[in-house]
Chain A
Amino acid sequence: MMPALEVEGVSKRFGATVALRDAVLRVRPGEVHALVGENGSGKSTLVKILSGVHLPDQGTLRIGERELSSLRSPRESLEAGVATVFQEVLVAENRTVLENLWLGHDGAFRARVPQRAKRERAEAILAELLISPPPVDTLLEDLQLSDRQAVAIARALLREPRILILDEATSALDYNTRSRLFDIVRRRSASGTAVILITHRMDEIDEIADTVTVLRSGETVGTIEERSWTSADLVRLMTGAEHLAQPSVREASERRHGGDVVLEVSGLRLAPGKAPIELQLRAGEVVGLAGLEGHGQDAFIKALWGMGGTPGAVIRRDGAKATVISSPESANACGIAYVPRERRAESMFEWMSILDNFALPTIGRDSRGGLLSTKSSESRFLPYIERLRIRLGQPSNPITTLSGGNAQKVVIARWLASEPRILLLNDPTRGIDINAKRDLYRLLAELAEQGLAVVMLSTEVDEHVELMDRVLVFREFELAAQLQHDTLERETLVASFFGEDETR
């Protein structure tokens, strides 16, 4: 049988990062084909290429009979019969359900479908998807999140696509809507529609998929047909037999444990209706935050810094003194430093020098009678250059002259200069090279040795396995598991992301 979709040798790089390498995917008509992989495995990139958002660097796509080197826009993709529902709930909040459902369907000025028919078909598709569908004249901003996503899904279904892509589209849906969606998916695939399903939930894969393709670090590592997989197979394929990098960073594996409690979390809810989180953080500990992207890790680390979260849930303990962390200011005031995730947008001043980037939050210390002394800043910066092995020309050069890894070290030095007791790092090694990573690991181990408590969000499984004393796994905005270093393996960790705690 002619495949509905064939992807061959498709590659895509963003700057120096290879997001997808020689991707291969073959989807038959009437098949539900699941795409799985860890964070950064390339699933989303592949989906964005299929939906016309990204252009591939090389490779070919075959949709039905047509062979293409790329889909140049979402419009082209839709015209080729591919409809995609994205993880982000993409709706126009200021317009009605009816307009959202038919968005993009019309010509520039003329409606292709008469208004009466639009209304009828909109009502029909919503009734299929929702138990109590909203009136089609409701504004999207008056709907709950689940119903908004249902509208985005219904928009794709209305197109009667030959290939329907659901990119983690179910995570915003409530239970009833999801089971109704799966009923629709079964009916559509029975009548020949090919469905590509990206999901982080093993139970969904087991429930509905016919075939699974696994991606790892941008490579297609395997396709398993005819429901002949086990969860363990998939986890093994996703993580890879061999470790991708062996940083061997645990020079000081016998770290001082049982330090004083420096931070206490009690009753912290990351989203309404989720289970509260209870936790103690001790001096000298390195704690990892793990899970699939967008499952609450980010909200958790920000809550530790006083941003969002349940009021009063985060308490800083310093001996007998207890302070509630209610804002970033209060966090900074009691020795909690935070290194944000987006280096360029949230922590670098790109138009300023390396030295100024380092000195800014602590610049008061360089004040001599109201005037700033550059010498003083420099003398404070020098030890960090050595300690963090920052490779730079002159401290007065613009920070943009540094590589990502070195710029990140400057940002970390900035916060170390404030002499924190707790260091929060939000995915600090993202996009930096392996040597810079090693420097950073060594530094963290050293700092922990000296009694600093480190909390680090990381999307790299290896980092958790190698570096952390303890890993907190987040799933659906709840703390799903706590894994100790001595029992931590790649497979157990990745399995826990997917809620497969029993898989070994």
Chain B
Amino acid sequence: MTQATIPAPAAPRRFDFAGFWRKYPFAFALALTIVMLAITIIAQPNFAPVQQISTWAPYAMAGIALMPAIISGRGGIDLTVSPVMTLTGILFIGYLAPAGLASIVAVPILLALGFVIGLVNGLLIVLLRLPAVVVTLAMMFVYSGVNVLLAPSPLTISGNWITALSGDWGGFFPAALVALAIPFVAWILLARSAWGRSLYAAGGNDATAFSAGVNVAFLRISAFVLGSMFAVWGGLVLVSLTSSANASTSASLVTTSIASVALGGISLAGGRGGILGALCGSAVIYLVQRILSTFQVPTMWLNLVYGLLLIVAVVLGAILASPRTKR
């Protein structure tokens, strides 16, 4: 009862793995990224950083777009990220460009669309108390269907400003880094705002946040809105890389985006992890692909490797964060 809580005098402490892990949940993914990057560069001396970064950028954006919904907790997840990215490309190439709106004005128009898509997801999930995985799975099918309706065959575009987003500037600087920097900075600022702090708190313990007077419903809806707007931006990044939009690839990033955030230490229970996790996690996913193709391993091994890495990451996280090692 009267245990004094006076801290023990500074005894030589063992390295606190659990504490380190909780502070830097993306550490595992970062370490993997560094190792794999080294392997890639050694195995492939003509490694072209600009092109690699541009190719990775859409994976990174898918992870970033998925992140806010997951952090908001209560089983929050957004499976519409991938089809919304495709939808963005289809609208940009197939509808806005022919109407002469393919200039920079396309960006606010498409972001407004992302806002609406996220709002619909968020309202259905939060106000009707439906499970996020079911709502967004249904919406994923809806948007995939819409994509096929809007663009029965693949669309391409050329000679547009947007392709510059995946090129190089001055012959060495990857433009994709700028494309990624925008959501990165936006998230960092938001995460440090009152909104972000409340979102993390609500994601960790929504009863606490609610009783402390936090508007939990608003927070969760806005997390879905933000995610869909990131997805729209990711769609533009994808268009800039491929100069095309293909409805048949609507769902291609669904599973890899989930794998990215889980690898990156973003807790699917909510409230933990951040954008560095999404970036490192997606980098691992991308580099695994890269390495396997460099060594000409058949692609059927790809999913197997993803699966094993993911299990290792999840098990490692669970062991390191378990209460026994915590104290």
Contact = CB atoms under 8 A, between A and B. Distances in A.
Contacts of A176: 2
A99 B207 contact: no
A84 B212 CA distance: 9
Interface in A116-167: 130-132, 134, 139, 141-142, 144, 146-147, 155
Contacts of B193: 109-111
Interface stretch (B105-113, B159-167, B195-203, B226-234): B195-203
Given A109-B193, A111-B194, A174-B2, A94 B212 contact: no
A142 B7 CA distance: 13
Contacts of A77: 213
A53 interface: yes
Contacts of B3: 144, 174
B8 to A, nearest CB: 12
Given A95-B200, A108-B194, A111-B194, A141 B215 contact: no
A272 to B, nearest CB: 11
A132 to B, nearest CB: 5
B220 interface: no
A184 B61 CA distance: 51
Contacts of B209: 92, 103-104
A258 to B, nearest CB: 39
Contact of B204 (A51, A73, A92, A109): A92
Interface string B209-247: 111111100100000000000000000000000000000
Contacts of B198: 103-104, 106
A95 B208 CA distance: 12
A95 B201 contact: yes
B115 to A, nearest CB: 16
B55 interface: no
A92 B5 contact: no
B211 A107 contact: no
B204 A95 contact: yes
Contact of A144 (B5, B195, B215, B218): B5
A247 B244 CA distance: 79
A480 to B, nearest CB: 16
A175 interface: yes
Contacts of B212: 74, 78, 90, 103-104, 155
A100 interface: yes
Contacts of B208: 90-92, 100, 103
A109 B205 contact: no
Contacts of B207: 88, 90
B271 A110 contact: no
A146 B3 CA distance: 10
B197 A95 contact: yes
A53 B207 CA distance: 10
Nearest to A53: B211
A75 B218 CA distance: 13
A93 interface: yes
A86 interface: yes
Given A53-B211, A132-B4, A109 B194 contact: yes
A139 B202 CA distance: 15
Given A103-B209, A104-B213, A92 B2 contact: no
Contacts of B211: 51, 53, 74, 84, 86, 90
A139 B22 contact: yes
B194 A103 contact: no
A115 to B, nearest CB: 10
B301 to A, nearest CB: 36
B42 interface: no
B11 interface: no
A111 B198 CA distance: 11
Interface string A329-346: 000000000000000000
A77 B211 CA distance: 10
A110 B189 CA distance: 12
A107 B194 contact: yes
B127 interface: no
User: Max chain A CB contacts within 10 Å: which of B1, B207, B213?
Assistant: B213
Nearest to B214: A104
B260 to A, nearest CB: 21
B210 A92 contact: no
Given A131-B5, A144-B5, A99 B215 contact: no
Contacts of B204: 92-95
A94 B1 contact: no
Contacts of A107: 194
Contacts of B4: 131-132
B202 to A, nearest CB: 8
Interface string B164-202: 000000000000000000000000000001110110111
Interface in B1-25: 1-7, 19, 22
A108 B195 contact: yes
Nearest to B3: A174
A75 B271 CA distance: 21
Contacts of B194: 106-111
Interface string B124-137: 00000000000000
A174 B2 CA distance: 6
A451 to B, nearest CB: 42
Nearest to A86: B211
Contacts of B203: 94
B251 to A, nearest CB: 32
B74 interface: no
Nearest to A78: B213
Nearest to B194: A106
A147 B6 CA distance: 12
Nearest to A51: B211
A429 B271 CA distance: 39
B2 A94 contact: no
Contact of B205 (A93, A134, A146): A93
Contacts of B5: 130-132, 134, 144, 146-147
Nearest to B201: A92
Interface string A278-321: 00000000000000000000000000000000000000000000
Contacts of B271: 92, 94-95
User: Max chain A CB contacts within 10 Å: which of B194, B209, B215?
Assistant: B194
A471 B197 CA distance: 49
The 8 residue pairs across chains A and B that have the minimum distance between CB atoms: A104-B212, A106-B194, A104-B213, A94-B204, A75-B213, A92-B201, A90-B208, A103-B212
27 contacts: A75-B214, A77-B213, A90-B211, A91-B205, A92-B205, A93-B205, A94-B200, A94-B201, A95-B200, A95-B271, A99-B197, A99-B200, A99-B201, A100-B208, A103-B197, A103-B201, A104-B213, A105-B213, A108-B194, A108-B218, A110-B194, A111-B193, A111-B194, A132-B4, A132-B6, A134-B5, A174-B1
Given A108-B218, A132-B6, 10 more contacts: A84-B211, A90-B211, A93-B205, A94-B204, A94-B271, A103-B198, A103-B214, A107-B194, A144-B3, A146-B5
